[in-house]
Structure 1
Amino acid sequence: MNTASIEVENVRFHYGRRRALDDITFTLVSGAFNALLGPNGAGKTTLFGLITRLLSLQQGDIRVDGQSMSKHPARVMRQLGVVFQQSTLDLDLTVAQNLHYHAALHGMSRVRARERIQVELERFAMADRAGEKVRKLNGGHRRRVEVARALLHEPRILLLDEPTVGLDPKTRRELNDHVHELSHEQGLTVVWATHLIDEVRPDDNVIIIHEGRILAHASSHEVCRDLGSPDLVSAFAHLTGDVEAAAL
């Protein structure tokens, strides 16, 4: 899989008078697992909204492989697969029907859609559930379907906004492990937004965001080393002064 990078340059965003993002600038590592780490309200979802064009840029630019989001939105969006924080599956459709609908939106033929659906459902050990209605699935299986759906059109970048919200610890860990494997084995550029520090591995690229600002951007172990912190929990508390958030 060809990898792609994301560049965010001087992005600011306000909801009325409230500042959500303040001069955000960074480049995400291509073909790697990138964790966007911050407490609830830090600006993660706003940033995802801008990258996915749910929100309009007010200031700054976002580029994918050098292509500006504002100038070439269709080209950029074709390279993105997205899993939103809130589920967007139709509960009254089957797994396969949900995926076929998504494939149709991307202009895929029925034959190609069937091929891609089979590949992705097998990847997530969900092929035997294709004919089941989504409302019969548990939260972990629904998330698997959402990630499979996001990968149907073979994007080069996978964005996941708090994908483990509401899942039990075992299911959280399994989903996190699976997406790490996708990144490492397929060379997929992953952006995993979370407020849970235990979802970030020492070798993951991590961007720590707090109150709309980037406080650190390096691998997790480099952030800890540079701050002289024994672990990412301590490093996060040191940077943000938010001991309670670091403990989550």
Structure 2
Amino acid sequence: MGKVAIVTGAGSGIGRAVAVALLDAGWRVALAGRRADALAETAALSAGESLAIPTDVADEAAVDALFEQTKARFSRLDLLFNNAGTGAPPVPIEDHALDHWKRVVDVNLTGAFLCTRAAFRLMKAQAPRGGRIINNGSIAAHAPRPLTIAYSATKAAMTGLTRSTSLDGRAYDIACGQIDIGNAETPMTRGVVRGTLQADGAMKPEPYLDVRHVAEAVLYMAGLPLEANVQFMTVMATKMPYIGRG
């Protein structure tokens, strides 16, 4: 029948690439995202068995419905890829709107928590027990870009979420790891090729990597037996200014 995964933010970018890779590898995948049309486009890219469930991960009721519908359709859950994320306009800290801050926290951090909580409830109760959670972090947690305080703060918090989830999941055969991605080519990041703000104030183009390499990395992490885990993995364009940034 194939293992079962939920991918959030599956309507575009990294989420779409990972969802399609899982489907092509024989997984059954629940596609979560805010736009039904984008989820339908993702589903059409693979002949695998998918279920599109429009979801705002910042909405507690919507997240609970996502997991309920997944269980009703597929009976269990083997993998959650916490991928949904957003950013805020690049402005100085003193001009950062509270509404923008709250939205980034709601999606990037609270959304990942709500999905993790729902996954624990399902994975602990199912037979065979357990499963895996992979969080999409960011190298921004370790080396932020200028004017990205909300995004960088939530991605640093994601690392804490990963560590706590990994620890608390041990007793229930729930493994948790994190992938930190640098400059994967997606619609959201394509602008780095033309030029992006550096720590010294300069605008410089940066190299990027094909998003399929990210999908392959997640697929590797997802395919491990539950007694093995990739705790943290960094996948990045080799020549991007991360090591030594600033």
| Structure in which a larger fraction of residues adopt helix | 2
| Structure in which a larger fraction of residues adopt strand | 1
Q: Specify the TM-score bucket, using the shorter chain as the normaliser.
A: 0.3 to 0.5
TM-score (norm 2): 0.34
> Comparing both chains, which one has the higher relative contact order based on Cα–Cα distances under 8 Å and sequence gaps of 6 or more?
1
